[in-house]
Amino acid sequence: MSATGDPADAQASADAMAAAMFGRDRASRALGMELLSVVPGRASMRMKVREDMLNGHQICHGGVLFSLADSTFAFACNSYNIPSVAAGATIEFLRPVHLGDELTATAEEKIRARRSGLYDVTVTNQHGELVAMFRGRSHHLKGSVVDTA
Amino acid sequence: MSATGDPADAQASADAMAAAMFGRDRASRALGMELLSVVPGRASMRMKVREDMLNGHQICHGGVLFSLADSTFAFACNSYNIPSVAAGATIEFLRPVHLGDELTATAEEKIRARRSGLYDVTVTNQHGELVAMFRGRSHHLKGSVVDTA
Amino acid sequence: MSATGDPADAQASADAMAAAMFGRDRASRALGMELLSVVPGRASMRMKVREDMLNGHQICHGGVLFSLADSTFAFACNSYNIPSVAAGATIEFLRPVHLGDELTATAEEKIRARRSGLYDVTVTNQHGELVAMFRGRSHHLKGSVVDTA
Amino acid sequence: MSATGDPADAQASADAMAAAMFGRDRASRALGMELLSVVPGRASMRMKVREDMLNGHQICHGGVLFSLADSTFAFACNSYNIPSVAAGATIEFLRPVHLGDELTATAEEKIRARRSGLYDVTVTNQHGELVAMFRGRSHHLKGSVVDTA
């Protein structure tokens, strides 16, 4: 969080968090996720569905879709540079996702208090169709994600 | 589903589904999951947390935990050899999960109707501590997972 | 749903459903709910918190808040004059609600298929503060709510 | 919470909380709920479906079912005499509930930490059929529900 309340500082802090956190986030990188944008309270990521993401019915594994939504939520809720973890989430699977589909997830903060927050994430495919809706609850820890002093 | 209603047939059908579905499930195998047991309406799986499953806070990514629960749910709800997909799920993250932790997920059917079902999954670590609780809703399709005729 | 696809017919059908359904909805009327508006896929209702809505901590009972959100969801998902019931819902309680508070709930359709739909409902107080977020899944039955032929 | 750790004291404290809280809980009493039992971490309540609990489809309003589950959850999570409120909940509606049905809700603690807890509630009808499943998250405040010194 910016010590000054200056929006430019808030964005610089979000950028520093995003670079540091994405660099350490082996799980998101192993799934080929790209971080498209992070601003305070919002984030967007992209992922292409690979063969090793398919389940036994030969459609995208629900856990892979959840992972994309959960990572996007994590970048949004850590955007203030206060370390935040997921306390829980709900997901609705709305359309099947296939090999080669290009997915975009967008996370948006709904409410944020000192200790917790609520974020909605939508996942769409390359045709702009909604494939999943995710709602995540964050729990805020002490300290900061990166030192921005 | 057993055509005869014989429990031995029901188990044979569950075994055939499990072997076929796990063989095709690249996502679950990529995460190193082991299928411990499948009986009609129940399943159990195991997974060890690897470095490429850690998130930017260096704890197990929520999507990886969800994936283990979701796969276990899938084997339980497909155990009747009627193809079933997840319509949605909720997850509560109860304790942080660390590199090297050995997780066991157990799925149990709560209710099952013609078109849908409800399953509870618990995930515990190697100390027997509950680390996540998952509740999944299944949607049943037509046909069968494997031909057991 | 309008047989003609004419928006004026769709609204007339929504109006006829709303009048008939609200007239029969003893639970919503017992809680003093007012139906503010219904258009295809959306609805809005209002309720004032009475003494008999308080729980043992002397704040508004969560079930009363859920009821307001659920009724608003019901009017939105029945707005096509196809009878629809709730299959399940999630609610997040974001701020305490007190005696005399005037609550407004607004339901918005997120996705709608032949057999089911997903609706988000927000509940705000008289200060415009978000007090609860609800997400409901509808299940569509056969027939119509009212005869509009 | 018992200062002594004695089970008899814990039960006496739960009993004192239950009597005080139910006495103040106008919403639960307005719905005709009966408190069947409260022990540390568990509670059970009963309610008969009245005409003023029916919705526009002439089945029990989802909010009334949620209210019964939510009240039972509240008695379970306040059973330690530490004031606790609901942070959020999910509910699945599994069977329609009709006028005159006699419902029993049973709440069971799944996990409990200093600041929060997780409780599962099942609601069954007079035939022992499961009609709803509820999962609630509690948030614990400071102080006590009743003075048991």
Residues 6+ apart with CB under 8 A from C34: C45, C46, C47
**Whole-structure pTM value:** 0.94
Indicate whether D149 pLDDT > 60. no
CB of A137 less than 8 A from some CB of D: yes
> What is the pLDDT, as a whole number, of residue A4?
64
Judge whether D137 is closer than 8 Å to chain A, CB to CB.
yes
- Structure-token match 């169709």, residue found: A129
Distance between D35 CA and the closest CA of chain B, angstroms: 25
| Terminal Cα distance for chain D, rounded | 11
- Contact predicate C107/D101, CB 8 Å: no
pLDDT reading at B142 higher than 70: yes
Cβ atoms of residues C11 and C146 within 8 Å: no
Closest CA to A131 of A41, A59, A74: A59
Question: Which chain D residue has its CA at the smallest distance from A90's CA?
Answer: D90
Mean pLDDT in residue range B145-149: 73
Percent of chain D exceeding pLDDT 70 equals 96
Confidence of residue D145 (pLDDT cuts 50, 70, 90): confident
- Answer whether C107's CB lies under 8 Å from C121's CB: yes
Which segments of chain A have a pLDDT < 70?
Answer: 1-4, 148-149
> How many other β-carbons are positioned within 10 Å of the β-carbon of residue B41?
18
CB contact under 8 A, C92 and A137: yes
pLDDT at C148: 64
What pLDDT was estimated at residue C3? Answer: 52
Contact C42, C106 (CB under 8 A): yes
User: How many other β-carbons are positioned within 10 Å of the β-carbon of residue C19?
Assistant: 12
Dist CA C144 CA C147 (whole Å): 7
Nearest CA in chain A to B56: A25
How many contacts does A have with D, using Cβ atoms within 8 A?
A: 3
B4 pLDDT higher than 90:
no
Across residues B105-123, what is the average pLDDT?
95
Quickly state the pLDDT bin for B145 (edges 50, 70, 90): confident
* Residues near C130 by beta carbon (within 8 Å), at least 6 away in sequence: A110, A111, C94, C95, C122, C123, C124
Does A63 reach chain B within 8 Å, measured CB to CB?
yes
- H helix or E strand, kind and range, residue C26: helix C26-30
Measured between alpha carbons, how far is A128 from D83 in angstroms, rounded to an integer?
46
The CATH architecture annotation of domain A7-140 reads Roll (3.10)
Bridge partners of residue D138, in order along the sequence: D86, D117
CB contact under 8 A, C137 and B88: yes
Beta carbons within 10 angstroms of residue B11's beta carbon: 15
Q: Specify burial of residue A88 (Cβ count, 10 A radius: 0-12, 13-18, 19+).
A: buried
What are the pLDDT digits (tens) for B19-45? 999 999 999 999 999 999 999 999 999
In this prediction, residue D7 carries a pLDDT of: 87
Residue B88 sits at φ, ψ, to 5 deg, of 175, 170
Contacts of B88 in chain C (CB under 8 A): 137
Q: Give tens-digit pLDDT for B57-99.
A: 999 999 999 999 999 999 999 999 999 999 999 999 999 999 9
Task: Fill in the amino acid letter for A38.
Answer: V
Domain ranges of chain A: 7-140
Measure CA C132 to chain center: 13
pLDDT for res C5: 74
The pLDDT-based confidence of B101 (bands split at 50, 70, 90) is very high
Identify whether the C-beta of residue A33 lies closer than 8 Å to the C-beta of residue A46: yes
Asked if the Cβ–Cβ distance from C90 to A94 is below 8 Å, we say no
Handedness of CA B27, B32, B37, B42 (dihedral sign): negative
ipTM entry? 0.94
Burial bucket for residue A108 (CB in 10 Å: 0-12, 13-18, 19+): middle
Copy the structure tokens of residue D72.
């039972």
**Are residues D137 and A90, on separate chains, in Cβ contact within 8 Å?**
no
The answer to whether A92 faces chain B, any CB pair under 8 Å, is: yes
Q: Measured between CB atoms, does B52 come within 8 Å of chain A?
A: yes
Other CB atoms closer than 10 Å to residue C121's CB: what's the count? 26
- Alpha-carbon span C64 to B67, nearest angstrom: 35
User: Which of B7-11, B29-33, D125-129 is least confident?
Assistant: B7-11
